[in-house]
Amino acid sequence: MNPIALDDALASFDALWSPRIVTHVNDYDVRVSKVEGEYVWHVHDDTDEFFLVLDGELHIALRDPDRTVVLGKGDVFTVPRGMFHKPSAPHGAKLLLFEPTGTLTVGDRHDEVPAHVDATTGHAL
């Protein structure tokens, strides 16, 4: 039960689109991730997905309604359960995410997962 410095947590790994679990809140993982380029279209059927941009800029394309949300440093956005979405970061970003423990990063349904995407339930820090 020690404090966790998010800058230190993010400095401990280089992999993109491969979140690390920094702590747990009830039945949720608090994850940090470094991202750059495009992710994969996916949906979480039974859970919302919370994003907080720690650094950089994140784009989240949504299918219904068809729009893109642009988040800068300090911005938060929650993708509602059941909504297909595709995150991207043209110039890179650092994120903090909240998801139920065991949630697969590519959701319940997704397009083909490219090699640069780590389909995981999160890695220990």
Q: What angle do CA 14, 18, 23 make, to 5 degrees?
A: 95
Each residue of 22-77: pLDDT tens digit? 999 999 999 999 999 999 999 999 999 999 999 999 999 999 889 999 999 999 99
Mean pLDDT, rounded, of the chain: 96
Q: Note whether 73 and 59 are within 8 A (CB).
A: no
pTM: 0.94
- pLDDT recorded at residue 65: 86
Q: Tell me: pLDDT of 13 over 90.
A: yes
The pLDDT assigned to 1 comes to 79
CA angle 64, 66, 67 (to 5 degrees): 120
Alpha carbon distance 122, 32 (integer Å): 9
